[in-house]
Chain A
């Protein structure tokens, strides 16, 4: 059974650019959640995808968007990058909504210059 994998591991962008982060969920998991973790803070919920539909969103602006594919992998897209978007972006998958033990990947560290 493979775990949650995220790519890339590190990324450097400049302000105003767009970025796409990718996540492969753990085998058998149909739910993917994305979190943003600023340095020295706990992760903050961005949104969740369940069976290819967005299923809840945290307090993030619309320039944060996502997708989930039929194989349950997912993408996080951020447009018009701002300096404050610099953070560790974590993806987590869970078996379904009821069994909500979320298993995380190693994250993508995004730096916006």
Chain B
């Protein structure tokens, strides 16, 4: 069964420094997608970055980059130059390639709470 594991319940980072949030996944399907979302205390789940399993390059979106190591089944999120507004819960998710109806439903990890210190 597909599974996402985030082993860091909470992380602290100093403002302007970089931080890496860990994510490992488990799937037997060769085609899958990996996502990172940010959830502030307001509750909205904000899409940050996407990596497809066949993508040759690591995905980047502004200050966000995804360190994709396929053999290790890891998809860590790197946030560079942290800002106070980055304080939030971060979720790693995988698109479930199987299941009925090709929903592409997302399977989420437990999340990591990031706090940026001034």
Residues of A within 8 A of B (CB): 33, 35, 41-45, 48, 50, 55-58, 88, 90, 92, 94, 97, 100-107, 109
Number of A-B contacts (CB under 8 A): 71
Q: Are B44 and A33 closer than 8 Å at their CB atoms?
A: no
Chain B residues with Cβ under 8 A from A104's Cβ? 37, 44-47
| Contact among A41, A45, A56 with B110 in the assembled complex (CB-CB below 8 Å) | A41
Chain B residues contacting A35 (CB-CB under 8 Å) are 106
Q: Does B101 contact A (CB under 8 A)?
A: yes
| Residues on the B chain within 8 Å of A100, using CB | 33, 95, 104
Q: Using Cβ atoms and an 8 Å threshold, which residues of chain A touch B50?
A: 101
- Chain B's interface size range is 20 to 34
| Interface CB pairs A-B, < 8 A, 9 | A33-B103, A42-B4, A42-B108, A48-B105, A50-B101, A50-B103, A56-B105, A92-B45, A106-B44
Q: Which of A44, A97, A103, A107 contacts B47 (CB 8 A)?
A: A103
B118 within 8 A of A: no
Contact of B45 among A41, A45, A90, A97 (CB under 8 A): A90
